[in-house]
Chain A
Amino acid sequence: MISKFTALSAFVGFMFFSAPVAAQDHGHEDAHYEDAHQNDAHSNGANTVESHSSEDHHDTHDTHSEGHGHADFVPASDTEGRKAVVKETVKHHLADSYDFHIVGPVGFPLPVILIDNGLKIFSSAKFHHGESVATVDGEHYKIHHSKIYKTDAEGTMLLDEAGNHIKPLDFSITKNVFMIMFMAVFMFFLFRGVANTYKKSLVPSKAGRFLEPLIVLIRDEIAIPNIGEKHYKRYMSFLLTIFFFIWFLNLAGMTPLGVNVTGNIAVTVSLALMTFFITQFSGKKDYWMHIFWMPGVPVLLRPVLAVIELIGLVVKPFSLTIRLYANMLAGHVVIMSILGLIYIFASYTAAVPFTGLTLFLYVLELLVAALQAYIFTMLASLYFGAAVEEHDHH
């Protein structure tokens, strides 16, 4: 148990230091790649400035579209080229990927699972970070813009009859899926450990000292006031799970690992759909009556109101989805863009204020991480509350 709590505090501490580390990251890459690409720089040196910058622009774009994530050296005078590097780096950090890239050459491949003339399971190491064509059981695959496509042996993408590129059905354990599974297992052991400490004594100990106030907060401030004393217990497990799941993944997104699970619309859609279905299936008579046959209004208006209420019903999961997704994605983009400004301006006068601004936004994002989890849980409980509410007829 001690180890779990230490792990959690280390995790939180790690996040506080990750902004300056991320800021340094590109500086190191520059120094590292300067030597490797001296030849490029020399051959370009003969050209005029205009052609030079446009060529650099293309170079960086090409290397990055292969999903490799390393910047070629771009001189500080070439602002346009550096802007393109920042853009590509931001894109790379937000995208899901088939291998878990940590820093520099360190990282590990993840399993790729495709259904394409039978089940095909292989390691993403076969793609060599998206640079080469993977051959599995006589079929060839290539990663293009973070998606797997079917190719021939030379890597030319195959077309179907309609002229579209062929994508196999993809069930791969990508970086996001890996993080979701990791967080699920982490939360299971963390909360089971906390629950076990209550068998010995009701005084919270270890991680419980940190988590108990949060659990009580969800119960007393969110579940009971919105759902009501009578029904709240049925929803507590879902509300607690969704709160800690979103919060922990938001925090994981604040590390320099480029984990962007809650900023992925597919994930937030799933969370919103779960909330939606739980709401509909726990809807009582009063809930459905207020949608289809609103009491207390003229009979002629009731069908009109039914249509409007139904639209409202469908829009709710959309607003849940978009709020979480847009907030997390926007936070990541803003932080990385401002970090990128340090690289673009390439001077100490710009670096100092922008590092400060990044740190400030970073702390703000830590707040947003908790706030978005809180709001999602709050709205879910509001919807559940509306579903089980019994009106005293007005």
Chain B
Amino acid sequence: MADSPEKNDRKFLRFASLGVQMAVLIYAGSELGKYLDAKYPSDKNWYTMVCILAAVAISFYQLIREMPKD
């Protein structure tokens, strides 16, 4: 099959989808953190920080998983 150019196209679109996915995930993380901080107040909004960082970590995990393995 004429493999290479088509495959590159598909990879490209796969990453285009990841952008939105990361954004949604990080936003959801921040909302969850804000909710938890409102419910259990602390001096430094720990939940928001932890949730956002966790969301970023998860989205990077997803990004790296989508990378071509070979």
Contacts and interface: CB of A to CB of B under 8 A. Distances in A.
A, B from the same assembly? yes
A226 B13 CA distance: 12
B38 interface: no
Nearest to A312: B62
Nearest to B18: A319
A318 B61 contact: no
B25 A315 contact: yes
Given A308-B58, A312-B58, A315-B28, A226 B10 contact: yes
A322 interface: yes
A363 B20 CA distance: 24
Contacts of A221: 6
Interface of A: 221, 225-226, 308, 311-312, 315-316, 318-319, 322-323, 375, 378-379, 382, 394
A322 B28 CA distance: 13
A379 B17 contact: yes
Interface in B1-30: 6-7, 10, 13-14, 16-17, 20-21, 23-25, 28
Interface string B55-70: 0001001100000010
Interface string B21-50: 101110010000000000000000000000
Nearest to A327: B20
A345 to B, nearest CB: 35
Contacts of B13: 375, 378-379
Which of B13, B16, B20, B25 has most chain A Cβ within 10 Å? B20
Nearest to A222: B10
Contact of B20 (A226, A311, A312, A322): A322
Q: How would you classify the secondary structure of chain B's contact residues: helix, strand, loop or mixed?
A: helix
Contacts of A379: 13, 17
Given A225-B6, A308-B61, A312-B58, A319 B24 contact: yes
Given A312-B62, A315-B21, A319-B20, 6 more contacts: A225-B7, A311-B25, A318-B24, A323-B17, A375-B13, A379-B13
7 contacts: A225-B6, A226-B10, A312-B58, A315-B25, A318-B24, A319-B20, A382-B14
Contacts of B61: 308
A308 B25 CA distance: 11
Contacts of A308: 58, 61-62
A394 B6 CA distance: 25
A292 to B, nearest CB: 15
A375 B21 contact: no
The 4 A-B residue pairs with the shortest CB-CB distance, nearest first, are A319-B21, A319-B20, A318-B24, A323-B20
A394 B24 CA distance: 31
B4 to A, nearest CB: 13
Nearest to B57: A308
Which of B10, B17, B28, B69 has most chain A Cβ within 10 Å? B17
B10 A311 contact: no
A382 B14 CA distance: 8
A316 B17 CA distance: 9
Given A375-B13, A378-B13, A322 B24 contact: yes
A308 B60 CA distance: 11
Contacts of A322: 20, 24
Contacts of A375: 13, 16-17
Contacts of B62: 308, 312
A389 to B, nearest CB: 13
Nearest to A290: B65
B21 A311 contact: no
A95 to B, nearest CB: 25
